[in-house]
Amino acid sequence: MLSIQNLAAKYGPSQALFDVDFEVGAGQVVGLIGRNGMGRTTLIKCLFGLLRPVGGSIQLDGGSIVGLPPYRVGRMGLSLVPEGRQIFPTLTVEENLVATATAGAKGKQWTLAKVYDLFPRLQERRKNLGTQLSGGEQQMLAIGRALMTNPRLLVLDEATEGLAPVVRAEIWKVLARLKQDGLAMIVVDKNTKALLRLADYNFILEKGVTAWRGTSAQLAAQPEIINRYVAV
């Protein structure tokens, strides 16, 4: 479904990605792993048209999406749960969800009722403003909002960062449910253990270069790889 080849990206003179290959198959969950500053968010920015790559190709179902503005990428079925959540603080939970709702490439599957079924806590808080939510509730809202665009590829950048263990566990459970429903995902997360339980395949970035790629079973069997590229 998604194929990235030889991707290169720069911020001014400093290069953040070098010749990165990255693929996601339909319905596949792919982990994007690496320590802080290794280029994970940069790859995601390139994917969503938020940063123009200086080299390489990004193809969705065989067609190039390089140079498309973010809203066009969204219409093609990609949806982002960004680092830091970025919900609308002055809108209510329900307004946040409705504000971004679009039909999506596969038609309209997600409704308010379905999002509330996934996150009952959001229904209880539906009249509350974004600013009145806990970190966990904001994260649930960010995921719910992304789902309201009816994506076929959901990208989560550090979605469990800074959350209490019980909330984190709930988010992982929801992601497992979305996977079961056939939704493809790219997941960036520091919790490698939980990530490997969810992901089918993984790419490890080290200083903007692909340092390792393979299945979750292969990675789980090689703790030395995790220690080298992830553990601090």
Ligand X SMILES: Nc1ncnc2c1ncn2[C@@H]1O[C@H](COP(=O)(O)OP(=O)(O)OP(=O)(O)O)[C@@H](O)[C@H]1O
Applying CB under 5 A, which part among 26-34, 41-49, 87-95, 107-115 lies near Mg ion? 41-49
Q: How far is the CB of 11 from ligand X (least distance, A)?
A: 3
**Both ends of the chain: CA-CA distance in Å?**
33
Nearest in space to 2 (alpha carbons), one of 102, 143, 150, 151: 151
Total number of residues binding ligand X (CB under 6 A)? 11
List helix spans (H) across the chain: 40-47, 70-75, 93-99, 112-118, 120-124, 135-147, 165-180, 192-198, 216-220, 223-229
Q: Which is nearer to ligand X, 91 or 209 (CB)?
A: 209
Which residues are CB-contacts of 26 (< 8 A; sequence separation ≥ 6)? 1, 152, 184
Q: Which is nearer to ligand X, 40 or 125 (CB)?
A: 40
Task: Give the alpha-carbon dihedral of 148, 149, 153, 156, to 10 degrees.
Answer: -60
Nearer to ligand X by Cβ, of 128 and 191: the residue is 191
Does residue number 42 form part of the binding site for Mg ion (CB under 5 A)?
A: no
CB of 41 to Mg ion, least distance (A): 3
x-marked contacts with ligand X along 78-117 as a string, rule CB under 6 A: -----x----------------------------------
Rounded to whole angstroms, the Cα distance separating 14 from 9 reads 9
Q: State which residue, 37 or 120, has the beta carbon closest to ligand X.
A: 37
Q: Which is nearer to ligand X, 111 or 191 (CB)?
A: 191
Sign of CA dihedral 196, 2, 136, 123: negative
In whole angstroms, the minimum distance from the beta carbon of 63 to Mg ion comes to 27
Binding residues for Mg ion restricted to 1-20, rule: CB under 5 A: none
Distance in angstroms (rounded) separating the CA atoms of residues 224 and 201: 18
Short-list 23, 59, 24, 19, CA closest to 39: 19
67 binds, among Mg ion, ligand X, none (CB under 5 to 8 A by kind): none
Query: Left, alpha or beta for 158 (phi > 0: left; psi -120 to 50: alpha)?
Result: left
**Residue 153 or residue 205: which is nearer to Mg ion going by CB?**
205
Pattern 150-189, binding to ligand X, x per CB under 6 A?
Answer: ----------------------------------------
96 binds Mg ion (CB under 5 A): no
| CB neighbour list of residue 13: distance below 8 Å, 6 or more residues apart | none
Nearest to 121 by CA among 134, 106, 111, 131: 134
Which residues, 23 to 42, sit near ligand X by CB under 6 A? 34, 36-42
Q: Does 28 bind Mg ion (CB under 5 A)?
A: no
**Which positions touch ligand X (CB under 6 A)?**
11, 16, 34, 36-42, 83
